[in-house]
DNA sequence: ACCTTATTCTATCGGAT
DNA sequence: ATCCGGTAGAATAAGGT
């Protein structure tokens, strides 16, 4: 724990800003004894130093500012001063205690040899009853597995922990019986990835976890159904900006494309279709509508779909084309 | 393990500009 | 020559029995 510093009159700060030693000018009466320059405090290093000559006036200052106080259970948890952080990564959240091995008791007194045997026995029993129970052991196995696969696939730690949380829930609701731990573990991590918006290819999962793709997806569906997990579904709108900029179209064309998607969604013309394909088609039609046409080939390439798909989606969209959003005045003047 | 359904992809062709 | 529009069959996804 870093000792915090605080000068009289300075605002109380409970926590140093991490990574920013921001020396701040202090009050006028705080002057450097050497050069008379302004003093500043550096909470990171618990020092007070002169801004002009760099003299360290005081070190290891005590923070006399108010301590953090907790008024409810939630802040109590956040503001607790002791203990390792809780984590999903250990089967018992890292909160369990164990019987130690030392030859001295908590007060530092030597433990008489007559009691040593008894304590060793307690330790053994304690371990067996906590970690040794079937459910705990399986949970630990699952967590190990999730971490293993997560690191093989470069899944961020926070996402892996979310996967573990899902697994715990599945275990709590007796969904593991009759299914493989590895399978549920992989599916839980897979679901966590999708929920976090960083989906992984099921193929990679299969390779990293040894769970075959079909099983993985089936268990994943089970988890989604049971827990009503809401995965963010990418929409065509999400892709328009990205593909649009690849195609170097103007905002006018992009706006037209968005308008088309909106109308198509209303009429249910996009459901079941790949959002990338829809995005490609509206960009094709939209850019053409506003007089900066792109070929099917170009939009297809930008969207990573084939020209056929562009054509098919474009054909689907015909019903919404009859009321074009005229951005520029009609090109052809009428003579008569 | 096998079957069903829907969608997209690959490959290809003919017509239009 | 390139673009466009359409078709046939393979591949894939998701699902059910």
Mean pLDDT of A33-62: 62
Average pLDDT over residues A31-55: 63
pLDDT value, residue A120: 73
Closest nucleotide (C1' vs CA) to A270 is B7
Residue A311 CB closer than 7 angstroms to strand C?
Answer: yes
Give the CA-trace dihedral at A168, A173, A179, A182, to 10 degrees: 0
Q: Is the C-beta atom of A308 closer than 7 angstroms to strand C? A: yes
| Each residue's pLDDT tens digit, A198-227 | 878 888 888 888 888 889 999 999 999 889
pLDDT at position A291 over 90: yes
Bases in strand B with any atom closer than 7 Å to a protein CB: 6-12
Distance (Å, whole) CA A206 – CA A165? 21
User: pTM here?
Assistant: 0.61
Strands laid side by side in the A56-59 sheet:
A39-42, A47-50, A56-59
Among A51, A49, A46, residue whose Cα is nearest residue A61 = A46
Looking at residue A290, its pLDDT comes to: 94
What's the CA A329/C1' B17 distance, rounded, in angstroms? 26
pLDDT at A308 over 80: yes
Nucleotides of C under 7 A from a protein CB: 2-8, 13-15
Residue A272 or A5, more confident: A272
Protein CA at A243 to nucleotide C1' at C3, angstroms = 21
CB-CB contact of A202 with A217 (8 Å) = yes
pLDDT of residue A131: 56
- pLDDT, tens only, A142-197: 999 999 999 999 899 999 999 999 999 999 998 998 889 999 999 999 999 988 88
- Residue A263: the pLDDT is 93
pLDDT of residue A100: 67
Q: Which residue has the higher pLDDT, A330 or A136?
A: A136
pLDDT in tens, A215-265: 999 999 999 988 988 888 889 999 999 999 999 999 999 999 999 999 999
- Please write the tens of the pLDDT for every residue from A54-105: 566 565 555 544 455 554 555 555 555 555 666 766 776 666 666 666 666 6
Q: Which residue has the higher pLDDT, A52 or A298?
A: A298
Residue-level pLDDT at A51: 65
**Rounded CA–C1' distance between A268 and C6, in angstroms:** 24
Confidence check: pLDDT of A4 > 80: no
Instruction: Kindly state the tokens that stand for A70.
Output: 């907790």
pLDDT at residue number A45:
59
- pLDDT class of A50 with cuts at 50, 70, 90: low
Q: Higher-confidence residue: A152 or A13?
A: A152
Q: With 80 as the cut, is the pLDDT of residue A23 above it? A: no
Closest amino acid to nucleotide C16 (CA–C1'): A218
- The pLDDT value recorded for residue A256 is 95
What pLDDT shows up at residue A328? 44
Q: How many residues does chain A have?
A: 336
Asked if residues A188 and A223 have their Cβ atoms less than 8 Å apart, the reply is yes
Does the C-beta of A309 come within 7 A of strand B?
yes
Of the pLDDT bands very low, low, confident and very high (cuts 50, 70, 90), residue A282 is: very high
The helix (run of H) or strand (run of E) holding residue A311 is helix A307-316
Q: What integer pLDDT is reported at residue A283 of this predicted model?
A: 96
């Amino acid at each position: 724990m870093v000792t915090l510093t605080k000068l009289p009159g300075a605002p109380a700060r409970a926590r140093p800003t991490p990574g920013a030693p921001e020396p701040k000018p202090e009050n006028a009466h705080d002057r450097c004894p050497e050069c008379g320059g302004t003093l500043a405090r550096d909470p990171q290093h618990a020092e007070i130093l002169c801004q002009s000559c760099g003299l360290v006036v005081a070190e290891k200052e005590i923070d006399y500012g108010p301590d953090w106080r907790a008024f409810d259970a939630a802040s109590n948890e956040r503001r607790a001063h002791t203990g390792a952080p809780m984590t999903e990564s250990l089967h018992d959240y890292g909160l369990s205690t164990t019987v130690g091995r030392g030859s001295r008791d908590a007060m530092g007194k030597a433990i008489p040899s007559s009691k040593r045997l008894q304590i060793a026995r307690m330790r053994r029993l304690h371990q067996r009853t906590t970690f040794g129970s079937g459910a705990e052991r399986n949970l630990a196995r699952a967590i190990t597995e999730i971490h293993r696969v997560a690191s093989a696939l470069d899944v961020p730690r926070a996402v892996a922990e979310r996967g573990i949380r899902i697994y715990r829930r599945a275990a709590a609701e007796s969904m593991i019986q009759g299914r493989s731990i590895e399978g549920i573990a992989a599916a839980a991590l897979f679901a966590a990835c999708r929920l976090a918006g960083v989906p992984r290819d099921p193929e990679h999962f299969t390779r990293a976890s040894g769970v075959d793709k079909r099983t993985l997806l089936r268990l994943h569906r089970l988890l989604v159904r049971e827990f009503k997990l809401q995965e963010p579904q990418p929409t065509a709108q999400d892709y328009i900006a990205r593909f649009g900029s690849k195609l170097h179209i103007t905002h006018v064309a992009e706006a037209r494309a968005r308008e088309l998607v909106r109308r198509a969604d209303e009429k249910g013309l996009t459901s079941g279709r790949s959002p990338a394909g829809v995005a490609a088609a509206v960009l094709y039609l939209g850019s053409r509508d506003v007089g900066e046409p792109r070929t099917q080939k170009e939009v297809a390439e930008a969207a990573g779909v084939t020209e056929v798909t562009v054509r098919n989606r474009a054909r689907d969209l015909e019903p919404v084309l009859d009321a074009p959003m005229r951005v520029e005045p009609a090109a052809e003047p009428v003579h008569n």
